[in-house]
Chain A
């Protein structure tokens, strides 16, 4: 697996992420609205099911991707349907890799509060990144904060 230079800033786990030169990447340019990204996630999960991905892995990827796509539309692109979300995916027998890129101004990862602290438990938002970290084996952002790379190892 070729390696991307971006470190896994979230989990710190030593899981390599395939770079753009790795054969097999598929790139989809999506309209930045809820319906379009939801359809894309369902379509991708149908493809994973057909690729004999087990249910546990499927749940993890679906959840991570749902959160990443939702963040791209809501926070990155500020719900502007004139913008796009780029969704790339690569499925191999060893892993499922995805990237989600928005056209926003990025964000400061360090400023995202921990939603599991007692004082934040009743805050209705802010759990997306935490769930991505919990369910995937690799989660990293580019320096601008406009692209997230995620990878789930297959058992």
Chain B
């Protein structure tokens, strides 16, 4: 699935053992419904290993963090895990300030 919108683009690619959700652009308040929908799609599938690629995400707000945490809780209930891949410096700083680095493995 690939959805296009001005501020945030989301691309989901399924592999054999994992699913990768790639976020590009800005995860603003207005884009959170789109993000929430994509995250729901990712965690409702059969994959337990979910990778959230943040290498091209330049902005994230608290509501977008909430969408990711909600997906994390759903994944956890089915013994799955969301990993955060290469967050940009600004996004990593937000994750560190909110201490979400204690919740999500980051590589």
Contact = CB atoms under 8 A, between A and B. Distances in A.
A35 B72 CA distance: 27
A34 B30 CA distance: 6
Contacts of A125: 62-63, 66
> Interface SS of chain A: helix, strand, loop or mixed?
helix
A128 B64 CA distance: 11
Interface string B36-73: 00000000000000000000000101110111011011
A127 B66 CA distance: 9
Q: How large is the interface on B (under 10, 10 to 19, 20 to 34, 35 or more residues)?
A: 20 to 34
Interface string B12-36: 0000000000000000111000000
Q: How large is the interface on A (under 10, 10 to 19, 20 to 34, 35 or more residues)?
A: 20 to 34
Interface of B: 28-30, 59, 61-63, 65-67, 69-70, 72-73, 90, 94, 97-100, 102-103
Interface of A: 34-35, 37-38, 41, 59, 62-63, 66-67, 69-70, 115-116, 118, 121-128, 130-131, 134
